[in-house]
């Protein structure tokens, strides 16, 4: 599945850079172009693989390249005012070769949180392809302001995109660990999942296409209807092959299912499927609240047992209670792992999203109380109603 990628703000740019690095490392080719936006010129300079000419500074007249801090309303305003400048990012990009557009942003900060939904809205007006957000939620200990920004931005992002892939920094930072110290490793986890999703169905270097590959329409159909999705992934290392040739040679020779024990293959695939769903998801959520699902099993072709893939798909249907779970394979002749990726689309219950929202409601209430104290007693008015209405998803 070919994607045209946009990274907005610091987190957005970093994750985009990480995806490009992962694509390079895995010899894949699914990013048709990559554009980064920021109000802070230093953040754009810090990027690595996004081409220099695709790094776009906006709002420079107002904030002189110094960024907007955590003021996402200002970022949204600047993006709206500079919308032509934002759309310049697609000039010269091979837009027609993209199956989908992808917008990465940290939702708790300023630039990405405010400007990513504005960019999505403008791209939606012009292009026919689906536009997906990749929204990063702040950890609870990053403060109430970040939660407030994230709650409001997530709601808008979901409204103006065709789906939001959510990633929760809170779920991925280890206890007691500084969230910013964990950004690189979290980005790796996120881009591995996205990379596998987009690479599956693309013809690999060796020309191998699976028996029931996941093509872009399967991904698009899983995401159809909008909402928030989460991704699980688990992999198991394969034993050395006993033909003395290692994985790659056996794979390059076209496999040879005789050397793979069928039961072993079935067990590995079904076990990794359970681990993917019941382990750490990009966004922790109630699995049975997902509307649709997609299971992608990757590994050397001789390990991709169709019975097991079907069994895994059925298991995910049981867990989600959804009758719309797709499944397919992604052959990787030179891999020494069998991996299972599970995409759960349109999840409606997530304690983390609820937590971000309630922290945001409290923060908004406190802010209005302070404002009311500072002005007159009746200025507080109907703060709760206003807050709930603004945050209601
Ligand atoms: P912006 O530049 O104003 O859009 O602000 P940021 O992108 O820095 O947004 C702050 C939020 O993004 C916080 O929740 C940070 O923890 C998170 N963040 C910043 N950089 C990264 C990153 O590289 N990876 C991840 N996962 N989160 C990041």
Element (DSSP H or E) covering residue 188: helix 183-199
- Spatial contact of 12 and 102, defined as CB atoms under 8 Å apart: no
Residue count (the chain): 393
Using the mean position of ligand 1's atoms as its centre, give its distance from the Cα of residue 307 in Å.
42
Same domain assignment for residues 149 and 165: yes
Same domain assignment for residues 60 and 142: yes
> What CATH number should be reported for the domain holding residue 158?
3.40.50.1440
| Ligand 1, CB cutoff 6 Å, lining residues | 9-11, 14-15, 43, 106, 108-113, 136, 138, 142, 146, 169, 179-180, 183, 186-187
Residue indicated by tokens 């079907």: 310
The beta-strand segments (E) located in 211-304 are 228-237, 292-299
Using the mean position of ligand 1's atoms as its centre, give its distance from the Cα of residue 131 in Å.
21
DSSP letter (8 states) at residue 241: P
Rounded CA separation 252/208 (Å): 10
Q: Per-residue DSSP letters for 115-132? A: HHHHHHHHHHHH--S-EE
Tokens, residue 199: 């690479």
The residue whose CA has the least distance to atom 18 of ligand 1 is: 11
Nearest to 104 by CA among 201, 25, 26, 31: 31
Burial (CB count <10 Å: 0-12, 13-18, 19+), residue 381: exposed
* CA 245 vs CA 214, 248, 355: distances in Å: 29, 7, 52
Domain that holds residue 384: 351-391
324 in any annotated domain: yes
Same domain assignment for residues 340 and 367: no
Tokens, residue 162: 């065709």
Same domain assignment for residues 23 and 116: yes
What lies within 8 Å, CB to CB, of 158 at 6+ separation is 133, 164, 226, 227, 228, 393
- Spatial contact of 320 and 347, defined as CB atoms under 8 Å apart: no
206 in any annotated domain: no
Same domain assignment for residues 130 and 31: yes
211 in any annotated domain: no
115 in any annotated domain: yes
208 in any annotated domain: no
The residue whose CA has the least distance to atom 12 of ligand 1 is: 106
At which of 199, 229, 257 does a domain end? 199
Same domain assignment for residues 286 and 330: yes
> What CATH number should be reported for the domain holding residue 250?
3.30.1330.20
Same domain assignment for residues 250 and 182: no
Same domain assignment for residues 315 and 357: no
How many domains is the chain partitioned into structurally?
Answer: 3
Reported ipTM: 0.99
Same domain assignment for residues 224 and 240: yes
Over residues 268-281, the pLDDT tens digits come to: 999 999 999 999 99
Using the mean position of ligand 1's atoms as its centre, give its distance from the Cα of residue 360 in Å.
18
Same domain assignment for residues 226 and 324: yes
Using the mean position of ligand 1's atoms as its centre, give its distance from the Cα of residue 178 in Å.
13
| Torsional sign, CA 216, 222, 224, 230 | negative
- Spatial contact of 213 and 327, defined as CB atoms under 8 Å apart: no
- Spatial contact of 228 and 347, defined as CB atoms under 8 Å apart: yes
Same domain assignment for residues 341 and 358: no
117 in any annotated domain: yes
Tokens, residue 54: 């695709």
Tokens, residue 236: 């198991």
What lies within 8 Å, CB to CB, of 178 at 6+ separation is none
Per-residue pLDDT of the chain (393 residues; tens, 9 = 90+): 999 999 999 999 999 999 999 999 999 999 999 999 999 999 999 999 999 999 999 999 999 999 999 999 999 999 999 999 999 999 989 999 999 999 999 999 999 999 999 999 999 999 999 999 999 999 988 999 999 999 999 999 999 999 999 999 999 988 788 899 999 999 999 999 999 999 986 755 455 555 677 889 999 999 999 999 999 999 999 988 655 434 444 444 444 445 788 999 999 999 999 999 999 999 999 999 999 999 999 999 999 999 999 999 999 999 999 999 999 999 999 899 999 999 999 999 999 999 999 988 888 888 888 888 887 655 444 444 433 343 344
- Which atom, in ligand 1's list, is nearest to the CA of 72? 3
Same domain assignment for residues 20 and 163: yes
Tokens, residue 176: 């007691």
207 in any annotated domain: no
321 in any annotated domain: yes
């Amino acid at each position: 599945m070919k994607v045209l990628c946009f990274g907005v703000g610091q987190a957005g740019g970093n994750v985009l850079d990480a995806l490009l690095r992962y694509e390079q490392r895995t010899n894949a080719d699914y990013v048709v172009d990559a554009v980064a936006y920021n109000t802070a010129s230093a953040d754009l300079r810090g990027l690595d693989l996004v081409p220099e000419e695709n790094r776009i500074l906006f709002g420079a007249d107002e904030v002189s390249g110094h960024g907007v801090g955590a003021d996402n309303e200002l970022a949204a305003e600047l993006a709206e005012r500079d919308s032509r400048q934002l759309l310049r990012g697609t000039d010269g990009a091979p837009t027609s070769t993209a199956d989908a557009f992808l917008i990465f942003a940290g939702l708790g900060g300023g630039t990405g949180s405010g400007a990513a939904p504005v960019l999505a809205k403008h791209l939606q007006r012009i292009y026919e392809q689906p536009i997906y957000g990749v929204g990063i939620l702040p950890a609870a200990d990053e403060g109430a302001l970040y939660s407030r920004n994230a709650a409001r931005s997530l709601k808008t992002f979901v409204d103006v995109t065709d789906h939001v892939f959510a990633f929760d920094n809170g779920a991925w930072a280890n206890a007691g660990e500084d969230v910013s110290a964990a950004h690189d490793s979290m980005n790796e986890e996120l881009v591995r999942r996205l990379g596998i999703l987009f690479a599956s169905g693309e013809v690999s270097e060796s020309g191998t296409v699976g028996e029931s590959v996941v093509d872009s329409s399967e991904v698009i159909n899983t995401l159809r209807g909008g909402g928030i999705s989460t991704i699980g992934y688990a992999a198991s290392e394969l034993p050395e092959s006993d033909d003395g040739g290692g994985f790659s040679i056996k794979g390059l020779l076209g496999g040879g299912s005789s050397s793979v024990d069928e039961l072993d293959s079935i067990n590995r695939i079904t076990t990794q499927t359970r681990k993917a769903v019941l382990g750490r998801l990009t966004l922790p959520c109630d699995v049975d609240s997902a509307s649709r699902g997609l299971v992608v099993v990757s590994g050397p072709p001789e390990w991709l047992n169709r019975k097991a893939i079907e069994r895994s798909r059925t298991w995910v249907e049981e867990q989600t209670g959804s009758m719309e779970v797709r499944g397919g394979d992604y052959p990787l002749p030179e891999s020494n792992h069998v991996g299972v990726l599970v995409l759960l689309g349109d999840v409606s219950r997530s304690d983390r999203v609820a937590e971000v929202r309630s922290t945001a409601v409290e923060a908004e209430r406190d802010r209005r109380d302070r404002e009311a104290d500072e002005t007159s007693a009746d200025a507080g008015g109907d703060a709760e109603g206003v807050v709930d209405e603004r945050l209601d998803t």
